[in-house]
Amino acid sequence: MISSHRSSIIKEIVQLSLAGLGQMYLPDHSAFCFRTKRTAGGLSRVGISRTNTLITSIGIRRAEIAGYQAPIEMQPVIRSLSESGWRFDKIGDIGLYLWLSSMFPVHENLLKWPDVLIESALDNLKDARERRTMELAWFLSGLAETADRRDLDASKKRTLLKLAMRTFTLLRANQESSGLFRHMSFRNSVAGLFRSHIASFADQIYPIYALSRFSEVFGIETALDSALSCANRICELQGPLGQWWWHYDAVGGRVVGPYPVYSVHQDAMAPMALFAINSASGKDFNEPVFRGLNWITGQNELSIDLRERGLNVIWRNIHQSTVERYFEESRMLIFPNRKTFSSQRLNVLFECHPYHLGWILFAFAGRTNTSCSFSGA
């Protein structure tokens, strides 16, 4: 059961996200900006991002399915993404577009690219060749969501299963016995050799979602075991205030860089993945979800509510200075038994990225008042 307090928080951040995304849209580009930042005159939009646009569109589409009014006209965005898809040079972006296209009726024919573009992506694209965990997870998610369509023929589903099994094998090779995932393969690049075992929260949470959905759609039990191993470990490592920490030593199964603590991890990415594994496994991860969600409302190190209602944003993180962060991570790498983290001289980063609000919509739009099951179509 979701308490009335929790339901109120969910309702508020969904409405805030819908309102906030309208001001992050760049109509001349049919895309979303990279980030917004606070200035003396209000919010300033900075840059443009295809990945942000893809994730944000997934979130808005989930909200539309749940019965909410989209904050912008989505057709120009979808058309622009569809027409430019053959130029995508990242397997992660291809995965996100597959995910997005799976949310529309097949007769709308969003996926107009040649099949060879998708089938060869694991071999041809740099992030795939380097076996980057987050990007492989996005690709596996896209394949699983596409295969889960009710209007998909059996032959197409078999083709997707073959590609998904290969992606699953590559992704699982990045998982250590600790349950945590490396940032990338240590075998496929010089960068991987030196830093692959230091992974981010994103390298944990996106595989949990991808493996949970892959397991549900195709009935692959070993994928669910992998997802549960990672989910259990990150929950064991969750901070006393519900913090989802930033950097992990995948081999040692421990936190090595607690800060920044990102709001998007607290109220969006962790909920979307842990709700997915709730569904796939029947195990209840709701309490870690809501401990993390409470962090943004003021139950954090600075006792600051990170929701800025007047601007319809949620500020990006609570962080240390760069020098302090590197010092802290170095100390935790050298002294692996260190259990406490420095929380001195922390500050708020007054920025908000559109993908943050998009993942909030995906995680919470359509959640019922009595459970964490999705009630949309």
Angle ∠(146,151,155) on CA atoms, nearest 5: 70
The mean pLDDT of 28-54, rounded to a whole number, is 96
- 257 membership: H or E segment, kind and range: strand 254-257
Q: DSSP alpha helices (H): ranges in the chain?
A: 4-22, 50-65, 75-84, 91-101, 115-119, 121-124, 126-129, 133-147, 154-172, 190-195, 202-218, 221-237, 263-264, 270-281, 286-296, 322-334, 354-364
Beta bridge partners of 262: 317
Residues 164, 138: contact at Cβ < 8 Å?
no
User: In this predicted model, what pLDDT tens digit does every residue of 181-234 receive, in sequence order?
Assistant: 999 987 665 555 456 789 999 999 999 999 999 999 999 999 999 999 999 999
Q: Residue 250's closest CA among 310, 318, 322, 178?
A: 178
For helices 133-147 and 154-172, what crossing angle results, to 10°?
Answer: 160
Nearest to 353 by CA among 22, 24, 9: 24
Count of residues in the chain:
377
ω into 105 cis (within 30 of 0): no
| Percent of the chain with pLDDT strictly greater than 70 | 88
The CA distances from residue 156 to 159, 218, 365, in Å, are 5, 13, 30
Q: What is the pLDDT of residue 270?
A: 98
From CA 235, how far away is CA 145, in angstroms rounded?
Answer: 25
Coil vs helix vs strand at 66: coil
Q: Which two tokens stand for residue 31?
A: 């895309």
Q: Global pTM? A: 0.92
4-364: which CATH architecture?
Alpha/alpha barrel (1.50)
Domain residue limits, the chain: 4-364
Q: How confident is the prediction for the chain on average, in pLDDT?
A: 90
Determine the pLDDT at residue 115: 77
